[in-house]
Structure formats: C-alpha cells, structure tokens
Amino acid sequence: MAINSGYAELSDKEQKVLSLVREHWPVSALEIAGHFNEKLHTKEHKKRHSTNYAYYLKKLVAKRLVLSKRVGNALIVWPLEVEAYRAIHKILKEAP
C-alpha cells in the first residue's frame, strides 16, 4: 500500500528507508540493513541485504528525495534537505 508523502508515491518500505536516511545520514545500504536488524553474519547475507536496500535507495534517488555517491562498491546516500543546509551555511559564511 502506497503512502502519499507530499513528494511522490512511496511504498511502506521506501517510507521506512527514507525516514532512516533522514535520521542517520550519510548512510549506506549495509548500514540500513543493520538498523533493520537484518542478519549480516555471512558474506552472502551481506550481499543479499546490501542489494535489497540499494534497490530502495536507487528508487529514492530517482524520485529526488535523497542524493547519492558511490564510494568504492558502497552506495552512500543523504537527504536532499542537506544540500539546503549546505547552501545556507555557505551564505552565512560569506556574510560580513
């Protein structure tokens, strides 16, 4: 069942992932899996959960709700609002 967040139609899982990204940014797919208490004991588990959450992160990037960057093999994301904080900081820093 989709939830209308005001930005775009989000599934329940997307809404939970977005909420977690807003609380704990910057964050990777594997870190998100850890927050959801997924089993990360073996390499296979890590790969499966990383791929699963990367899928949701890419959907959020496509909907322009988060921004992303690749660091090695990890997809790191942060909320779009952070860019506004960065712009405000720059303006305040340049003010006399």
Q: Which two tokens stand for residue 5?
A: 């967040």
pLDDT of 56 over the 70 cut: yes
pLDDT grade, residue 17 (50/70/90)?
very high
Segment 17-26 mean pLDDT: 90
Which pLDDT band holds residue 28 (cuts at 50, 70, 90)? very high
**Could you tell me if 78 and 66 are in contact, meaning their C-beta atoms sit under 8 angstroms apart?**
yes
In angstroms, the CA 26 to CA 68 distance is 9
Q: Is the pLDDT of residue 83 over 50?
A: yes
Burial label for 80, CB within 10 Å (0-12, 13-18, 19+), is middle
Residues sharing a CB contact under 8 Å with residue 86, sequence separation 6 or more, in sequence order = none
Q: What is the average per-residue pLDDT within 22-29?
A: 90
Can you tell me the distance from the alpha carbon of 36 to that of 24, in angstroms, rounded to the nearest whole number? Answer: 13
pLDDT of residue 7: 52
Q: If you search the block for the tokens 């990367």, which residue do you land on?
A: 54
- The reply to whether CATH 1.10.10.10 applies to domain 11-94 is yes
When pLDDT is averaged across residues 7-14 and rounded to a whole number, the result is 79
pLDDT at 90: 83
